[in-house]
Structure 1
């Protein structure tokens, strides 16, 4: 069966090019086609006063030709560097975030750069966070320089999306033939109870048991995969940011236990999208 399409936001910026390389490399491993996507988010209003020059509401012909040229150039370069990958392009006059969220229902992956020149790639505070928080498929935000041979890191808790993230991380580690590092971080107690005898600074065997049982199932399915497991008392955002320094991919769920289902992307995932040293994948339950 053909793998679902990978949609990559592309505007010819360095970060968009990095996202395209990541998407194409992933397509070689999975057999998925790649679509280069661009969204015009032009103003939908113009000043009413006749003395005020009105901006163009839609792109002019020159701009349109330049965008199409950049996307066709991306396809041509992909045919040279990744000849086995099937590619196409799409251009929409609509919200980048809303379009990508809608398209994610049928996509296998959405891939974005961490910065760029367009609404698709450049607005990490809006488009990338919105898509990462509400997409129906995994969203990859390409960051940093990939560590050749570096491990895949999976940040987990006991939420449903974190367990899906672990499955995604296992697949990536197996496909790339690299180790998998699984991290479960328990936020330390602070405030009134911080210095009481009731608070421990280490993870108990009972707290760790569900994690070990979960990983044991994956070890059985993939006996040749090198899996290490860490359970520690540290804020999850800090622990995973540190782990990202020598990783090639950091995988997390879209929401942890502390977020209300249906709200925006969890705080840990938002932090990692801005501060991780490597590429971040945010994995979702398909709705």
Structure 2
């Protein structure tokens, strides 16, 4: 049996949007959808205020109601799709990371009410995306048409992101926009106001070559996917966010060039997770797609 698409469920509207997105993704892959709710006692309850056993039982009932609602949303979005549900009590990040090891994709909403409470586009989403054993999609807004946009920087994570992006564009029947940016902040800062007089054409030419090299094999594998290339002298996050306005999905690697040791997720990935107007997929260097 093919790996499932996993969607986090917590009763919020954002989670239901993510479930609908995940259902469509599962149908494209010919995979089943696995809806997961993580039961977690909210922080701040003083000891003795509520009996912990009673609270857990109430949360379990609430979680099952949310899973039932999510199932209805999934079956409405993709009639006939195989849907299964699961509950966990091990903490949000550990539970989702565990699920990701046997999943094709993990899909989350932007903010939540229950088990995914608080800054989902913050610590939870960042940690899950950084540690997951498969690509992670954070759904911002409803499913919409548009090309798949992918950031390309020549790193192993970028290579995996390109593979995922081509497969997604092929499955959706859309085009692909491949973005490669470059800057030389050290040189530009050193020359300050005189940077405009510098000849950056050799760097621009090399950037064009790098992008062409990274795309070559995938364009042959997916000849029906029209590709638009963009190379610019600017920050990657700025270019990606600009192109995201018309995109159906933005794909980035989990780590980029120049990442500081100890950071779990690159700055570009984090910027997209927080600000993109469309769903964002974060793909690690070891992730491979099984899209059909």
Report if TM-score (shorter chain) is over 0.5: yes
What does residue range 77-156 of structure 1 map to in structure 2 within 5 Å? 77-120=73-116, 122=118, 123-148=120-145, 150-156=146-152
Q: Which has the higher helix share?
A: 2
Greater than 4 Å deviation, 4+ residue runs: 43-48, 196-199
**Separation of aligned partners in 1, 2:24 and 2:125:** 21
Structure 1 unmatched ranges of 5 or more: none
Q: Aligned in 2, Cα 1:204/1:27: closer, same or farther, shift over 3 Å?
A: same
**Separation of aligned partners in 1, 2:73 and 2:43:** 34
Helix, strand or coil at the partner of 2:245 = helix
Give the CA deviation at 1:13: 1.3
Helix, strand or coil at the partner of 1:7 = strand
**Separation of aligned partners in 1, 2:126 and 2:50:** 29
Helix, strand or coil at the partner of 2:107 = strand
Give the CA deviation at 1:93: 1.3
**Separation of aligned partners in 2, 1:114 and 1:216:** 34
- The RMSD of aligned alpha carbons is 2.3
Paired residue for 1:28?
Answer: 27
Structure 2 unmatched ranges of 5 or more: 288-292
Paired residue for 2:215?
Answer: 215
Paired residue for 1:192?
Answer: 190
Deviates more, 1:273-282 or 1:221-230: 221-230
Q: Is the 8 A contact 2:159 2:285 kept in 1?
A: no
Q: Is the 8 A contact 2:143 2:248 kept in 1?
A: yes
Give the CA deviation at 1:104: 1.3
Q: Deviations over 1:19-73 (max 9, x none)?
A: 001100011110111111111222699757xxxx434435343332122122123
Q: Is the 8 A contact 1:136 1:285 kept in 2?
A: no
Q: Is the 8 A contact 2:157 2:286 kept in 1?
A: no
Give the CA deviation at 1:98: 1.4
Q: TM-score, normalised by structure 1?
A: 0.89
Give the total of aligned pairs.
281
**Separation of aligned partners in 1, 2:21 and 2:45:** 39
Q: Deviations over 1:103-123 (max 9, x none)?
A: 211111110001121232642
